[in-house]
Structures are given as structure tokens and as C-alpha cells.
Amino acid sequence: MKNKSLWVIVAIAAIVFGLTFTAMAEEGVTDTEIHIGQWGPQTGPAAPWGAVARGTDAYFKMLNAEGGIHGRKLVHHYFDDGYNPAKTKAGVKQLQEDIGMFAWVSGVGTAPGLAVKDYLMKRKIPWLSPSTGSTHWVDPPQKYLFTIYPMYSGDAQVLVRYAVEEMGKKHVAIVYQNDDYGKAGLVGARKQMTKEGMKLAVELPLNLADKDMKPYIMALRKAKADTVLMFVTPGHVARLIGTGKAMKFDPQWMTTTTCADVPLMMYITKGLYAGTIMASFGMMDPAKVGIGNVEDVNHPTLPLMKKYKKDAFGKYAAKDERWGLTFCAGIAYAEPFVEGLRRAGRNLTRERLVKAMEGIQNFQGIMGKVNYKPFNPNSPLCRLGQREVFLAQATKDAKYKVLTDWIQTDYINYK
């Protein structure tokens, strides 16, 4: 009888403590799995950026095949939001509340990201490396939000400075997407033009639904623009340059990191992208001209890039997937997060992950060096992992020529 009672007590204790341990475990983390969420457009106007999420997915599968992180598999849940903030919000809430994500990684698009930022931050859910360079992520800085993408405003600064100071251009104009992404570029361009003692020749907002670029080309021609910055989608870059060609308008076209996948851009513009100058943050081939320290995505020489091409892309990408800048970016955005998971150790909690991320200094994967600092609510730089970009120019053979070394961009608070 005594023995029986003892067993009952032991069983009850086991259940109670078991439940307690379960209740204490971090959301999205089990003994064998870490659940990670991501959104990205697989359809719609921003679909060319869909390869970001597919790159991350292949990267996680590669890591799982190698044993995962501290014995746990990375379970990647990504969904198509069509670059539509309403869908982003619905998808994030559904995954978070139905399954429970430990953290979110990447996420294409400023407007989609803004739709869920407050939701994630209020719940203290880490979000690492938004795939967009908006000031909103770091100003004010958020304890659970770490960025890696250089600010679009910085891209615009560097492009304008190059156009005016190196190329002697006098009439710089901008066509910008009429949302936070485009407006960040506008602010950077305006600021740099003021520094140069000039004004933008014309500022043209463009809505995603706009397909007819003739009025834009007419306005640019009227303003006598000799340089045009394009902070729009790849499809709109193709339409702008193409319509410009048809209307005999041939300025120096410039664009930002989001449209820097040269083989893709050359294909959709039927070669008209050649000559376009773009800001970029990694994965090109400067070796031929001896500038910088980045890698040619199509001819990898770095062991890490070679490994990704062979083990992530080669084994886990879909049959018709293209190994390109956008796919690699999906890997690159997740690298600091994986480093943070490694540093956080087996006893994984969100607080431990944040602490580990804050300790990352001079970390380099296949992009530039990444640095974070302990959280300081007054310093956006504590969460801005990377601020360097360089300029390159597309060449006719769908390659690129690097024009500058890494350039540190200024942080601009434009809100």
C-alpha cells in the first residue's frame, strides 16, 4: 500500500514538474526543434524578391542536414504575402498564434514589415534582419529587432555623391515608390543634394499599380534630368528604362540594392540595364579591379560561398531556382541569426538570443562585417548591423564593374 502511494506521489510530481518545465520552455522551441517564421512575396509585383525566402529555406535545410543548432532542427515556416501588408499581418498572426514562432527572420518589404513590427515587438518576439533598409527598424531602436540591411537613404546618398562629384552631373532626378522604401531613398537623395548645394531636378512618386511610364519619362525629360535614381521594383526599373529608350531619353540610370541582381535585371530589360549604376552590399567580383572584399556570386571562390552553392542551393533549391544575388541574400540575412543561435547555447530563450546577438562583433558571412551593441534606446546604431555599401555598374555581358570601395553611409533620421 505504502509502495503504491509512493508511486502515485512520484507520478503526480512528475506530471506537475513536467508541466511546469513545459510551461517554462520558450515559445517555438522544443527539445528537437526551433520554429522560425518568415514572409516574402512569391506572387505579385515584388515576386522577383521571392527568392530571398527560398534561399533562407535552403540554408536552414542545409544546417539541419548537418545536425541543426545544438541538436535542434530549424523548422522554417514561410508564406507568400504577395507584398501586401494586410496579408503579411494575417499570416504572421496566424503562424504566431497557431503554431508559435520562436523568432522571425528576414521578411521582404518595408510596408509589409511595418504592418507587423509593433505586433512582434509588443510580444518580445525577436525579428532578425528585415530584408529592407528602412529607418523604421532602428529608430527608435527595438530590443528584439536586429537589422543587417544598409539603409536605403544611405544608398541614395552614395549614388548622388558619385553622380555629382565623380561624374559631374548637374540635374539629378528621382523616381521613388510611393511608400516607405521609396521615400527613404528620396530623403537620402535630398540630403546629399543639399550638401552639394543643389536641388533634385524633379521628384516623381510612383505607385505599385502604375504600369505606364510615359508620363514619368516626359516629366524627367522636361526637367532635363541627366541622372535618374530609381527606388522602385525591378519590374518598374525595366519599364522606366524601356520607355526611356523608346522615347529617346537616355540619362545615367541609377538604382539601389533591391534592383542589383544584374543577370535578372539584364534579362527582364532585354539588355537595357547595361550601364546602370547600382548600390550594393556584397557578393560581387571586385577581384578584377582590386576594390573591396566581396564575392562573385556566380563564380564563388570563398569556401563559405562555395559551400552554400553546393550544399544549400545544390541540394535543397527547387529545380528551376536560379543561383543569384537574391537567393544568396536569403542566406546572408539569416547568417547573423544562426550565429546568435549558436552563441546562445542549448538552453535557448529569447532573452539569451538577444544577449548573444548583442555580442556579435565583426562577424562576416557572405556579406560585409556585422556589428551589434548592447541595447541603448537612444542609439539606433546599436541595432544597425551593417552600414556599408559600394557602387557597381552593370556591363553588357550581364556582369558588373565595381566602381568604389566600401563606403560607410551616414545614418539619417528622416521620420
Partner 1 sequence: MVDFLQMILSGIAVGSSYALMGLGMVLIYKASEVPNFVQGEMALLPVFVAYLLLESYGLPSYIAFPATLIFAMLLGCFLEFAILRRAKEPNVLGLIIITIGLEMMLIGIVSWKFGADQRAMPFPISSYDSIVIGDIFISTLDMLTLVAALIIMLILFLFFRYSKIGVAMKATQQNETAARLMGIKTNRLRMVTWGISSVVGCVAGLLVAPVLVEPYMMWDPMLKGFAGAVVGGMTSLPGAVFGAYIVGIVEQLFGGYVSIEFKSVVAFVVIVLVLCIRPSGLFARHYVKKV
Contacts with partner 1, residue ranges (CB under 8 A): 41-45, 47-48, 50, 178, 204-207, 209-212, 214-216, 218-219, 222, 234-235, 238-239, 242-243, 245-248, 267-270, 272, 320
Residue 65 or residue 246: which is nearer to partner 1 going by CB? Answer: 246
Strands, E, within 268-415: which ranges?
277-280, 388-394, 400-402, 407-408
Residue 120 or residue 240: which is nearer to partner 1 going by CB? Answer: 240
Cell numbers at 234, concatenated: 525591378
Q: Find the shortest distance in angstroms from Cβ 387 to partner 1.
A: 30
Residue 68 or residue 235: which is nearer to partner 1 going by CB? Answer: 235
**Measured distance CA(399)–CA(322) in Å, rounded:** 16
Residue 48 or residue 336: which is nearer to partner 1 going by CB? Answer: 48
CA distances from 85 to 99, 123, 142, 191 (A): 21, 19, 20, 29
Cell numbers at 402, concatenated: 565595381
> Residue written as cell 528584439?
144
Residue 147 or residue 269: which is nearer to partner 1 going by CB? Answer: 269
Residue 242 or residue 359: which is nearer to partner 1 going by CB? Answer: 242
Q: Find the shortest distance in angstroms from Cβ 129 to partner 1.
A: 22
In angstroms and rounded to an integer, the radius of gyration of the C-alpha atoms of the chain is: 23
Q: Find the shortest distance in angstroms from Cβ 208 to partner 1.
A: 9
Q: Find the shortest distance in angstroms from Cβ 323 to partner 1.
A: 14
Residue 198 or residue 247: which is nearer to partner 1 going by CB? Answer: 247
Quote the Cα angle for 266-247-164, to 5°: 70
Q: Find the shortest distance in angstroms from Cβ 82 to partner 1.
A: 9
Residues 6 or more apart whose Cβ sits within 8 Å of residue 112: 39, 81, 83, 84, 85, 87, 88
Q: Find the shortest distance in angstroms from Cβ 248 to partner 1.
A: 6
Which of helix, strand or coil describes residue 392? Answer: strand
Q: Find the shortest distance in angstroms from Cβ 405 to partner 1.
A: 32
Q: Find the shortest distance in angstroms from Cβ 67 to partner 1.
A: 32
Residue 89 or residue 221: which is nearer to partner 1 going by CB? Answer: 221
Residue 67 or residue 271: which is nearer to partner 1 going by CB? Answer: 271
Q: Find the shortest distance in angstroms from Cβ 164 to partner 1.
A: 25
Question: CB neighbours (10 Å) of residue 380?
Answer: 18
Which of helix, strand or coil describes residue 170? Answer: coil
CB 266 within 8 A of CB 384: no
CB 393 within 8 A of CB 400: yes
Residue 98 or residue 212: which is nearer to partner 1 going by CB? Answer: 212
Q: Find the shortest distance in angstroms from Cβ 24 to partner 1.
A: 42
Residues 6 or more apart whose Cβ sits within 8 Å of residue 299: 285
CA distances from 90 to 36, 41, 42, 93 (A): 16, 14, 16, 5
**Measured distance CA(172)–CA(346) in Å, rounded:** 53
Quote the Cα angle for 257-388-107, to 5°: 50
Question: CB neighbours (10 Å) of residue 323?
Answer: 18
Which of helix, strand or coil describes residue 105? Answer: strand
Helix 51-65 vs helix 325-344: angle between axes, to the nearest 10 degrees?
40
Q: Find the shortest distance in angstroms from Cβ 214 to partner 1.
A: 4
* β-pair type (252-255, 203-206): unpaired
Residue 100 or residue 235: which is nearer to partner 1 going by CB? Answer: 235
